[in-house]
Amino acid sequence: ARAREAEARALPARTRDGHTVSIGANINLPDQAAFALSQGAEGVGLMRTEFLFLERGESPSEDEQFDIYRAMAVALGNRPLIVRALDIGGDKQVAHLNLPHEENPFLGVRGARLLLRRPDLLEPQLRALYRAARAGASLSIMFPMITTAAEIVALRTVSERIRAEVEAPAVPLGIMIEVPAAALQAESLARHADFFSIGTNDLTQYTLAIDRQNPQLAAQADSLHPAVLRLIQATVAGAAKHDRWVGVCGGIAGDPFGAALLTGLGVQELSMTPREVPAVKARLRDSELTALHALAAQALACEAAEDVRALEGGMA
Ligand code: PEP
Ligand code: MG
């Protein structure tokens, strides 16, 4: 039975009517790659690099970062690897950076906003990533907390300069969609980004005005809220106008019902905690895309997250 289970995990997430969804893992370090692959992940959809900065008293050097990114690519045997540029601020504070106190850090200088103000953080990371690409790693770079087209244009300009300096090949540059403004302007952002990955943890927080860390509101912070689903739909529609692919790397991607619904909304890649991969794959393999499209249409018409959740019971 165990061998059969392992065999099933290795199968693609292909629906009964032949639609395939890419399945990635959210991991931070190369030594987690083997486990992710053993669970059936097809690559890494989100490498959270803050981790390299959070757990120590100083920033890792460019050379240390290069070693880690290259080791990750090697551990993945050149399967897809999406590395997210440093996402500091909000819930991710790094003491040794001595950043100024903010009254509302989730609405402050976080993610891309910090990267654009701190070339001393952004540039060594980009150099390390492009050096890894030059050394043969097939990676993509993803920027967090993008709100405006101007941010991605500015980040792309810096990236391109560093790529030229390092004499590296081009690398896909994607963005996270985690701010409602970005979802609503997805078409315009898609002109400047090669792919989108929706961060539903933050997108839910900003859409519903619920601090993602407030335990009193945790039950209401549901990424399947119809308002969040509409923003996901808008993101998929905007991306399609420029032939960009859309993934989801927030927590809801690892929930089998959530994964089914996201697939129905047109999301093409799902990235999740490694241990969630087998159940999500099994669920998608057991689904029909046509039924998932109908499910998504029903969910978008719902009034509340509970109504969306209740649709699960009605599914074949
Ligand atoms: C998200 O916001 O959904 C996400 C994947 O990023 P993080 O949880 O690291 O903020
Ligand atoms: Mg986020």
In tens, the pLDDT along 51-88 reads 898 878 889 999 999 999 999 999 999 899 999 999 99
pLDDT (mean) for 250-264: 98
Q: Which of 146, 232, 123, 229 is nearest to 192 (CA)?
A: 146
Q: Which of the ligands is closest to the CA of residue 272?
A: 1
* Cα(8) to centroid(ligand 2), Å: 31
Going by the DSSP 8-state scheme, the letter that residue 61 receives in this structure is P
In angstroms, rounded to a whole number, what is the distance separating the alpha carbons of residues 71 and 138? 12
pLDDT for residue 316: 46
Residue 31 pLDDT grade (very low, low, confident, very high; cuts 50, 70, 90)? very high
Q: Which of 249, 251, 303, 207 is nearest to 23 (CA)?
A: 249
DSSP bridge partners of 142: 84, 174
pLDDT (mean) for 96-116: 94
238: CB partners within 8 A, 6+ apart: 183, 185, 186, 187, 188, 189, 190
In tens, the pLDDT along 187-197 reads 999 999 999 99
In the predicted structure, residue 218 carries a pLDDT above the cut 70: yes
**Which of 27, 44, 48 for mutating ligand 1's site (highest number of atoms within 8 Å of CB)?**
48
In tens, the pLDDT along 129-184 reads 999 999 999 999 999 999 999 999 999 999 999 999 999 999 999 999 999 999 99
Please state the φ and ψ torsions of residue 89, each to the nearest 5 degrees. Answer: 110, 175
117: CB partners within 8 A, 6+ apart: 109
In angstroms, rounded to a whole number, what is the distance separating the alpha carbons of residues 129 and 125? 6
pLDDT for residue 89: 86
**Which of 178, 179, 212, 223 for mutating ligand 1's site (highest number of atoms within 8 Å of CB)?**
178
Q: Which of the ligands is closest to the CA of residue 91?
A: 1
In the predicted structure, residue 308 carries a pLDDT above the cut 50: yes
Whole-model pTM over 0.95 = yes
pLDDT (mean) for 19-44: 97
pLDDT (mean) for 290-297: 98
Q: At what angle do helices 226-240 and 200-208 cross, to 10 degrees?
A: 120
* Cα(250) to centroid(ligand 1), Å: 5
Which ligand 1 atom lies nearest to the CA of residue 90? 10
Strand ranges in the chain using DSSP code E only, listed in sequence order: 13-14, 20-27, 44-48, 81-84, 139-143, 173-177, 195-198, 245-248, 269-272
pLDDT for residue 315: 67
DSSP bridge partners of 177: 198
pLDDT for residue 5: 82
